[in-house]
Structure 1
Amino acid sequence: MLNLEDRDYFSDYEILKDPYQFFEAVRQHGPVYRPEGKDYLIVTGFAETVEVLNNNHDFSAIIGLAGAAAPLPFEPHGSDITEQVEAHRPSILGGDLVVNLDDMPHTQMRSLVNRLFTPSRLKANEQFISDYSDELVRNAVANGGVELIKQISTPFVTLVIADLLGVPSDDREFFMKTIEAAPPPGSLNSDENDFSGENHPMVVLGGYFARYIMERQQSPRDDILSELAHATYADGTAPRFQDLIALSVFMFGAGQDTSAKLLGNAMRYIIDQPGLQDALRRDPSLIPAMLEEVLRLEGSTKQTARLARRDTRIGDLDVPAGTRVLVALAAANRDERRWPDPQEFDLNRPKLREHVAFGRGKHVCAGAPLARVEVRIILEKFLKYTSAIELDEVKHGPRGNRNLDFEASFIIRGLSELHLKITPSADFGI
């Protein structure tokens, strides 16, 4: 019988439901470990994770979506395989997406993203976030309960990013249904990770974004899609049209996924952490700190992956070019060498925002500011309009023995459903 640390992270559903015990078993072998019979490394140490994510010279992000277990479409040879990586980029899942790009192509695409998700633009979007979250939460409270993930999280974050990008109102319901039906990134069903099929939700949405960008090129509006349609790089050159489509689809998909999972994970802690929801009602200014601790303990992204493109090192370990690396963000955020009592929820934990739930370095999540804003605002509404929020014990079992189901993804940490029972507050009728 295999030891826990040598079971297959990428296909074992029990590990999917609770990756933390698996990562702790891996950690017992040190901050970097090669599982028995596997040809990839797992990094669980916080310092080592930051080291890998910051080392863009030696590590390529090209396997970020494919994962460390996916075989390469070529046989690496030599101490520097950079040219081989680029020659085979079209053959690797999501190789042309900004999350998987390296060097100048990544710098150019990321420069566009950074100009779009600015504090001023997010501030301008806050009124839509506030109004829409108010409507959703009031309906849930009036009904005495709600299934949070499908009835609130998905439509909420989908329409927020649609509004921010400039998706026309008439298309937004279709977008919501498409996203709800889409498989999560890193699905355990490998067939769902093939983005090339014409019926894949991301391909379908790509057709819509192509039309939007062409329309904005002719008739600009005050939205992100118009800025993309007329964007240039620092050297004055214009992005390729297909790159703009890929970037638009990625921003839409990534922009809703992280936030939706964060809302569900945060709500679970608010309910099950003794005294937490009452403390947050008394002082809503604690919500940002609560979100950071939830991100550390239960971030929306469990892991990412890197490919060593040059002979390099991680800590004291030599890593040959061609080595695939699973970077366990969820484990790094529970590394006791960095976080005292790492398994405990601590609202007053020092330097909370130093977690790596959103990654680190050049590929740090561009949508992190949006996720923090929209989830904070809707939680403020939930806490204002309720006097108590509980999990439905018929669906999820009693406190201390919960029955929770997580999406079948090796990348995403998110609940597939969360049924709430809600008691209104005195403020609800105002």
Structure 2
Amino acid sequence: MQAMEERDYFTDYEILKDPYAFFEAIRAHGPVYQPPGRDYLIVTGFDETLEVLKNTVDYSAIIGLQGAAAPLPFEPSGPDITNEVEAHRDQFLGGDLLVNYDDELHTKMRSLLNKLFTPSRLKANEQFIEEYSDKIVREMVAKGGCEMISEVATPFVTLVIADLLGVPAEDRQLFMDVIEAAPPPGSLDAGQNDFSSATHPLVVMGGYFAGYIQDRRANPREDILTEFAHSTFPDGSIPDLNELVKMATFLFGAGQDTSAKLLGNSIRYITDQPGLQAKLRADPSLIPQLLEEVLRLEGSTKQTARLARRDTRVGGIEIPAGTKLLLSLAAANRDPRRWDSPEDFKLDRPRIKEHVAFGRGKHVCAGAPLARVEVRVILEKFLALTSDIDLDETVHGPRGNRDLNYDASFIVRGLSELRVKLKPAPRVDLTALAYGLGLKED
């Protein structure tokens, strides 16, 4: 029988859908380990993961999207391969996207992105989040239940970021349809990795964003897209239109997926942790703590990857230039050297925000503040308008023996389906609610 650590993380469906036993088998060999027959290292240690994420001098983010298993487009040679990486950047999957940028180019482009997620901007966006979440939750409660991922999570987070960016109302449904039909990032579906395909979500949405930004440059309005279209780098230079389009498109596509998965993962814990619903209803201020612990246990991103571009060390191990590293964020967040009883859910876990679910360092997820706000608000609505939330046992089995299906992605950790039953709170007039939402006829 094949040992767990000898199985292939990138092609084994069972591991992709439930990676924790695999990562624990890897951890047993130390915080940094090269599985048999693989040409990359897997980092499971919390401290070691932080060490790599924060070291942008010795490590490149160029393989962040393609993953550590994909071959390099050149043969590494020497103690510093920085120039070779840049010379072959266009041969890496997503090498021209912000998530894979390094050094000055990353710093310049990130300076534009950070302007979208300021506290004042998120506060303005929160009114839309409040209104839309109230509408969608009331509709689901009136129906008595829903499929949480496709009916709630995906449309909700898609429209939230569409509102933040200023996507015209008439185009939002098309964006939702494109995203819902696409596999998640890191899917084993080969088409997901073909960024040149006319049907790839980033290509489809990119055409629209190009039109939006060109229009705003010619016809400024009082919206974020106008601000984005007329933005400048810290040195006063003007960004290339194509760079702005790529950034806006990737932000839209990547941001909605991770937030949608966070909502689904949170609902799963709310339904299965004894007494948790009652505690959260009695004190909604605990919801942010819930989100941080869910992010630690079931973060939407299981792993990222780095390429050593200089000879270096991590965790006391020599790392030659050209070494590929799989950074298991999921394993780092369950490292027993850092977290007491790491597999247990603890609502009051000390120093919980130190998890690495959103990464760390210069490449930390820019959309993390938005994800926290939008998921918090909609959970407040679900808890306020219901007296009980439970999974549909006819689909997912009884509590303690759930049958849950996760996306087969080497990047994303998220449920592909979550059917829930919703019992309205005593003060909610279900009949009036159904009429008001057009779910019943006179």
CA deviations on 1:134-155 (whole Å, 9 max, x unpaired) are 0110011001100000000000
In structure 1, how many angstroms separate the alpha carbons of the residues matched to 2:12 and 2:214? 44
1:16 deviation in Å? 1.2
Tell me how far apart the structure 2 counterparts of residues 223 and 58 of structure 1 sit (CA, whole Å): 39
Partner of 1:175: 175
Q: Which residue of 1 aligns with 2:122?
A: 122
Hey, what's the Cα distance between the residues in 1 that align with 2:401 and 2:222? 50
- Tell me the SS of whatever aligns to 1:304: strand
* Alignment pair present for 1:329 and 2:297: no
Who is 2:20 aligned against? 20
Structure 1: stretches of 5+ with no match in the other structure:
none
Q: Which residue of 2 aligns with 1:359?
A: 359
Residue by residue over 1:154-175, the C-alpha shift from the partner in whole angstroms, topping out at 9 and shown as x without a partner, is 0000000000000000000111
What is the CA–CA distance in structure 2 between the aligned matches of 1:224 and 1:104, rounded to whole Å? 25
CA contact (8 A) 1:384 1:428 kept: no
Q: Is the Cα–Cα contact under 8 Å of residues 384 and 427 in structure 1 kept in the other structure?
A: no
Separation of aligned partners in 1, 2:283 and 2:63 = 43
User: Separation in 2 of the partners of 1:314 and 1:129?
Assistant: 42
- Aligned partner of residue 10 in structure 1, secondary structure: coil
> Which residue does the alignment assign to 1:185?
185
Question: Residue 282 of structure 1 corresponds to which residue in structure 2?
Answer: 282
Scaled by the length of structure 2, what TM-score is found?
A: 0.96
State the match for 2:438 in structure 1.
none
In the alignment, is residue 342 of structure 1 matched against residue 336 of structure 2? no
- Superposition RMSD in Å: 0.9
Question: Which position in structure 2 is the counterpart of 1:241?
Answer: 241
Find the aligned partners of 1:10 and 1:223 in 2 and give their Cα distance.
41
Residue 229 of structure 1 corresponds to: 229
**Residue identity opposite 1:242 in structure 2:** N
Match of 2:163 in 1: 163
Partner of 1:151: 151
Residue 5 (structure 1) shift: 1.0
Q: Aligned partners of 2:296 and 2:408: how far apart in 1?
A: 21
Q: Which amino acid aligns with 1:28?
A: A
Distance in 2 (CA, whole Å) between partners of 1:86 and 1:322 is 13
SS in 2 for 1:426: coil
Partner SS for 1:423: strand
In structure 2, the partner of 1:53 is 53
Q: Deviation at 1:428?
A: 2.3
The one-letter code of the counterpart of 2:149 is I
Please give the alpha-carbon distance, in whole angstroms, between the structure 1 residues aligned to 2:222 and 2:46: 41
CA distance in 1, matches of 2:427, 2:127: 20
Secondary structure in structure 1 of the residue aligned to 2:390: strand
Distance 1:74 1:428 in 2: 63
1:298–1:413 Cα contact (<8 Å) kept = yes
* 1:296 paired to 2:300: no
In terms of mean alpha carbon deviation, does 222-231 or 417-426 score higher?
A: 222-231
Tell me whether 1:206 sits opposite 2:206 in the alignment: yes
Q: Which amino acid aligns with 2:372?
A: R
Deviation at 1:193, TM superposition (A): 1.2
Instruction: After superposition, give the CA deviation of every residue in 1:268-321 in whole Å (9 maximum; x if it has no partner).
Output: 000001110110001000000000000000000000000000000111100000
In structure 2, C-alpha distance between the alignment counterparts of 1:179 and 1:393, rounded to whole Å:
28
Other-structure match for 1:91: 91
- Residues 226 and 427 from structure 1, CA distance in 2 versus in 1: closer, same or farther, beyond 3 angstroms? farther
Q: For the Cα contact (< 8 Å) 2:144–2:421, is it kept in 1?
A: yes
Contact 1:281 1:383 in 2 (8 A): yes
3-state DSSP of counterpart to 2:198: coil
> What is the CA deviation profile of residues 193-238 of structure 1, one whole-angstrom value per residue up to 9, with x for unaligned ones?
1111122121011000000000000112232211121011111111
With 13-22 and 356-365 compared, the bigger mean Cα shift is at 13-22
CA contact (8 A) 2:201 2:253 kept: no
1:70-85 mapped onto 2 (5 Å cutoff): 70-85=70-85
Deviation at 1:70, TM superposition (A): 0.5
- 1:427 counterpart SS class: coil
Aligned AA (2:78): G
The number of aligned residues is 430
Stretch moving more, 363-372 or 224-233: 224-233
Is the aligned partner of 1:425 residue 2:406? no
In structure 2, what residue type is equivalent to 1:424? P
Paired with 2:63 and 2:118, the residues of 1 have a C-alpha distance of 28
User: Counterparts of 1:33-52 in structure 2 under 5 Å?
Assistant: 33-52=33-52
Q: Deviations over 1:324-363 (max 9, x none)?
A: 0000000000000000000000011100000000000000
Counting only pairs closer than 5 Å after superposition, residues 250-265 of structure 1 correspond to structure 2 as: 250-265=250-265
Aligned to 2:436: none
2:201 aligned partner, one-letter code = P
Q: What is the rounded CA distance, in whole Å, between the counterparts of 1:428 and 1:65 in structure 2? A: 45
Q: Is the partner of 1:313 in helix, strand or coil?
A: strand
Partner of 1:390: 390
Equivalent residues of 1:295, 1:357 under 8 A apart = yes
| 8 A Cα contact 1:292 1:352, kept in partner | yes
Q: Deviations over 1:81-120 (max 9, x none)?
A: 0000001111101111111000000000000011111110
Tell me the distance in 2 between the aligned counterparts of 1:196 and 1:421.
41
Cα distance in 1, alignment partners of residues 306 and 224 from structure 2: 30
Q: Report if aligned partners of 2:17, 2:409 keep a CA contact under 8 Å in 1.
A: no
The alpha carbon displacement at 1:51 in A equals 0.1
1: CA distance between counterparts of 2:262 and 2:427? Answer: 25
Please give the alpha-carbon distance, in whole angstroms, between the structure 1 residues aligned to 2:428 and 2:123: 26
Contact residue 138 and residue 428 of structure 1 kept, 8 A = no
CA distance in 1, matches of 2:13, 2:251: 29
Q: Is the CA contact (8 Å cut-off) linking 1:300 and 1:414 kept in structure 2?
A: yes
Whether contact under 8 Å (1:290, 1:347) holds in the other structure is yes
Secondary structure of the structure 2 residue equivalent to 1:212: helix
Could you tell me which runs of 5 or more consecutive residues in structure 2 were left unpaired when the two chains were aligned.
434-442
Q: Secondary structure of 2:428's match?
A: helix
Name the amino acid aligned to 1:208.
Y
Contact map agreement 1:63 1:307 (CA 8 A) in 2: yes
- The residue identity in structure 2 corresponding to 1:88 is H
Q: Please, what TM-score do these two structures have when normalized by structure 1?
A: 0.99
